[in-house]
Structure 1
């Protein structure tokens, strides 16, 4: 544990950001899984889940949580499965 006051603050802020990033990433992954599952089952709300998943993938890409190519790959997978 750091002794310097600014270093202590840095540890707490970095932990807060880490937790926020992990939560956003988990939310994105869950949305993608739900959208793919809804399409395979033929649910009525599959289009809504697809739109939500794409939105969350774009947000994760915009905040640099995932690479641009991974975002494109996920969106392509979602669109091809839901075509």
Structure 2
């Protein structure tokens, strides 16, 4: 799965994400240290919760990067 960068900073994918893609994204977040556990952020990251979309997101204030993802709580809510 190769993201296709857009000029406005949005990334789009060449195909629809599958359940396997979502699982790989979750594994990547853990492997790369962005998540240290299912419900906890890794070092330099802060875990947040969006009530409207019922989705967690991570923010790193040092790099000014945020990441949205699905976790057990968000999947249960949906």
TM-score normalised by L of structure 1: 0.30
| Largest Rg, 1 or 2 | 1
TM-score normalised by L of structure 2: 0.32
RCO (CA 8 Å, sep 6+): is it higher in 1 or 2? 1
Give the strand-richer structure, 1 or 2.
2
